[in-house]
Amino acid sequence: MQDFVQRIVEKLRVDDNQDRVSVVQYSRDPAVNFYLNTYTTKGEILDTVRGLRHKGGRPLNTGAALQYLRDNVFTASAGSRRLEGVPQVLILLSGGRSFDSVDAPASALKQLGVLTFAIGTKSSDSRELEKISNDPNYVLSVSEFTDLPSIQQQLQSSVEAVVIEDTPETPTVLVDTAKKDIVFLLDGSDSTRNGFPAMRDFVERVVEKLNVGGNKDRVSVVQYSRDAEVNFYLKTYTTREDIVDSVRGLKHKGGRPLNTGAALQYVRDNVFTNSSGSRSLQGVPQMLILLNGGRSFDNVDTPASALKQQGIFVIGIGTRSSDSGELKKISYDPRYALSVSEFTDLPSVQEQLSSVMSTVLVRATPMTPKETVERQPPGRDVVFLLDGSDGTRTGFPAMQDFVQRIVEKLRVDDNQDRVSVVQYSRDPAVNFYLNTYTTKGEILDTVRGLRHKGGRPLNTGAALQYLRDNVFTASAGSRRLEGVPQEL
C-alpha cells in the first residue's frame, strides 16, 4: 500500500496551488497521518509515506472513517479547496468488509461532491465498495495488495477522465454544461403582491434561454412566505413549453412573515433531492435563484451554509427592501448577490444573471465564499428521556405534547432522523428504540398513546447509565459508529 501511494504521488503535480495530498489510516477509528495542508512539496509527502507505520486495531469501521473524512479532512481548515472549485478525490484502499454501515457516510461524501474510487482485495465486500464509490465503474479489484501495480494505470486514467482536465494552470471540475438543475425560490409574501407579475415574467425569460429536457436542463419553482410551497419539482416537466405555461399561470402565494431561512432549508431537504428530480449525485450542477423582496424574519445563516456545503450555487436577487448583507450571506459568493430597485427592473439584471450562471457552471471559476460552512449531517439519533415518576403525573400530557412537536420538525426516516423514547423513575423503561419505527406517523401515534410510568424514587443517574449501555448502541438502532450525531 505504501509503495502504491508513492507511485501515485510521483505522478502528481504537488504544490500548494496545484495538487495537495492527505493520508489517513483507519481500523476501529481513523488516524490522520497528514492533512491536505501539511506538506507543499512532493519530497516531503514521499518521505512521510515511506515512514508510515501500520496503525493496527480492529474491527474495521469503514463507515466511521468515511464520515470522519467528510467532517475533518475535506474541510477548509484541513486544506481542502472544495469551495474554490477544486476537485475532491478520495482513493480508498480496503482489505475487508466493514463492521459498521457505510450507507449514510458514503451518501454524505457524494452529496459533498467528493469523487470516491475504491480499491479492494479478494477479502473485501465488492457490493460495499460499489456503494462507497460514486459509480460502480470506479471500483477496482486486486487479489492481494501486492498486485496493486497492475491497476495503477487504470486508476490514473479513470481519475483523469472523470474528474480532472489536464491543464497545468487551473484544475477544474468537468461538468456537463448541457445539464443543469435550476430552482427558482420566489418571495410570495404579502409585500410582493404588486411585484409578483414582474417576477413571473423574469422567470419566464430565463427559462426561455434554457435547454430544457429530461436529460438536459430541469427547472423547479417554489414560493415562500411563512412556509414554502412547491409549484412544481425538477422532475415535473420535461419541456420548455410546459414550464413556461405553468409559470404564466402561477398565483401569488401570500402570507407573512417572510421566513427565508426556513425556505432555504426546505429546498435543500425536499427539492434538491433525488426523489424530486435532482441529479446532484450524477454530477449535474445545482443552482438556486432566489428572488427576494424583504428582510427575513428568521435566521438564514445555517440554511445558507448547508446549501453551500451541499455544493448548491445560490444567486440572490433583491430589491431596495431586501437586506443586502443577508443576500450576500445567502449567495454562494457575495459577488453573486444582485440588486434592483423594484421587481419591475429585473430585466436590467438578466444579462448579469446569465453571466454569473455561465461563470459558475461552465468555467468553474475558483470561488471563495466568506461564510463558515457548518456541518449538516445526513441524520440524527434522538432519544427522549422522560421523568415518569409519581411527581410528574399531572404534567405528563404536556411532556407528550412537547415530544410530538419536536418530532413534527424532524426528518424521520431510517437513513435520516431516528427517535427513541424512554421513561424512568426508580428504573428506566424503554417505550421504543431508535430502530423500532421508520416513519414519523408511527412515532407520533406511539407518543400520543404513552402511559405515565409512575414510581419512586427518581434515579436519573441510573437512567443515564442505562441509555448509554442499552439505547445508544448499534443493536438498538444507534448509528454512532457511522458518525451520526447522538442527541439526548
Please state the φ and ψ torsions of residue 324, each to the nearest 5 degrees.
Answer: -65, -35
Do the strands 228-232 and 217-224 form a parallel or antiparallel pair, or are they unpaired? Answer: antiparallel
> What's the N-to-C CA distance of the chain in angstroms?
41
Rounded mean pLDDT, 293-317? 90
**pLDDT value at 306 more than 90:** no
What are the grid coordinates assigned to 417, written together? Answer: 432522523
Please give the Cα distance from 127 to 139 (Å, whole number): 10
Please give the Cα distance from 34 to 21 (Å, whole number): 8
Which pLDDT tens digit goes with each residue over 6-24?
Answer: 999 988 888 878 899 999 9
Angle at 117 (CA atoms; ends 371, 312), nearest 5 degrees: 25
- Measuring CA to CA, which residue among 112, 24, 70 is closest to residue 306? 112
Domain covering 180-363 in this structure, CATH number? 3.40.50.410
10 Å CB burial of residue 442 (0-12, 13-18, 19+) is: middle
Residues in the chain: 488
**pLDDT value at 171 more than 80:** no
Give the bridge partners for 417, in sequence order.
Answer: 412
Query: Dihedral (C-alpha) 57, 63, 64, 66: value to the nearest 10 degrees?
Result: 110
Same fold, 180-363 and 381-487: yes
| CATH 3.40.50.410 is held by the domain 2-162 | yes
What are the grid coordinates assigned to 98, written together? Answer: 466493514
CA distances from 165 to 24, 157, 159, 175, 180 (A): 26, 12, 10, 10, 20
Which pLDDT tens digit goes with each residue over 349-405?
Answer: 887 787 777 655 543 333 333 333 333 445 889 999 999 999 999 889 989 989 998
Please give the Cα distance from 155 to 135 (Å, whole number): 13
Q: Residue 58 corresponds to which amino acid?
A: R
Predicted pLDDT of residue 375:
35
CB burial string 203-229: b at 16+ within 10 A, e below: beebbeebebeeeebbbbbbbbbbebb
Do the strands 139-141 and 114-120 form a parallel or antiparallel pair, or are they unpaired? Answer: parallel
| CATH 3.40.50.410 is held by the domain 381-487 | yes
Question: Using 50, 70 and 90 to split pLDDT, how confident is the model at 243?
Answer: very high
Do the strands 418-424 and 114-120 form a parallel or antiparallel pair, or are they unpaired? Answer: unpaired
Predicted pLDDT of residue 162:
54
Question: Using 50, 70 and 90 to split pLDDT, how confident is the model at 161?
Answer: low
- Measuring CA to CA, which residue among 65, 70, 62, 78 is closest to residue 31? 65
- Measuring CA to CA, which residue among 354, 358, 355, 310 is closest to residue 332? 310
Q: 3-state SS string over the chain? A: CHHHHHHHHHCCCECCCCECCCEEEECCCEEEEECCCCCCCHHHHHHHHHCCCCCCCCCCCHHHHHHHHHHHCCCHHHCCCHHHCCCEEEEEEECCCCCCCCHHHHHHHHHHCEEEEEEECCCCCHHHHHHHCCCHHHEEECCCHHHHHHHHHHHHHHHHHHCECCCCCCCCECCCCCCEEEEEEEECCHHHCCCHHHHHHHHHHHHHCCCECCCCEEEEEEEECCCEEEEECCCCCCCHHHHHHHHHCCCCCCCCCCCHHHHHHHHHHHCCCHHHCCCHHHCCCEEEEEEECCCCCCCCHHHHHHHHHCCEEEEEEECCCCCHHHHHHHCCCHHHEEECCCHHHHHHHHHHHHHHHHHHHHHCCCCCCCCCCCCCCCCCEEEEEEECCHHHCCCHHHHHHHHHHHHHCCCECCCCEEEEEEEECCCEEEEECCCCCCCHHHHHHHHHCCCCCCCCCCCHHHHHHHHHHHCCCHHHCCCHHHCCCEEC
Rounded mean pLDDT, 296-320? 90
Domain residue spans in the chain? 2-162, 180-363, 381-487
pTM greater than the 0.85 cutoff: no
169 compared with 209, residue with greater pLDDT: 209
Predicted pLDDT of residue 213:
82
Rounded mean pLDDT, 214-218? 85
Is residue 66 within 8 Å of residue 105, measured between CB atoms?
yes
Please give the Cα distance from 18 to 416 (Å, whole number): 37
How far out from the chain centre does Cα 184 lie? 20
370 compared with 331, residue with greater pLDDT: 331
Rounded mean pLDDT, 112-137? 88
Average pLDDT of the chain is 86
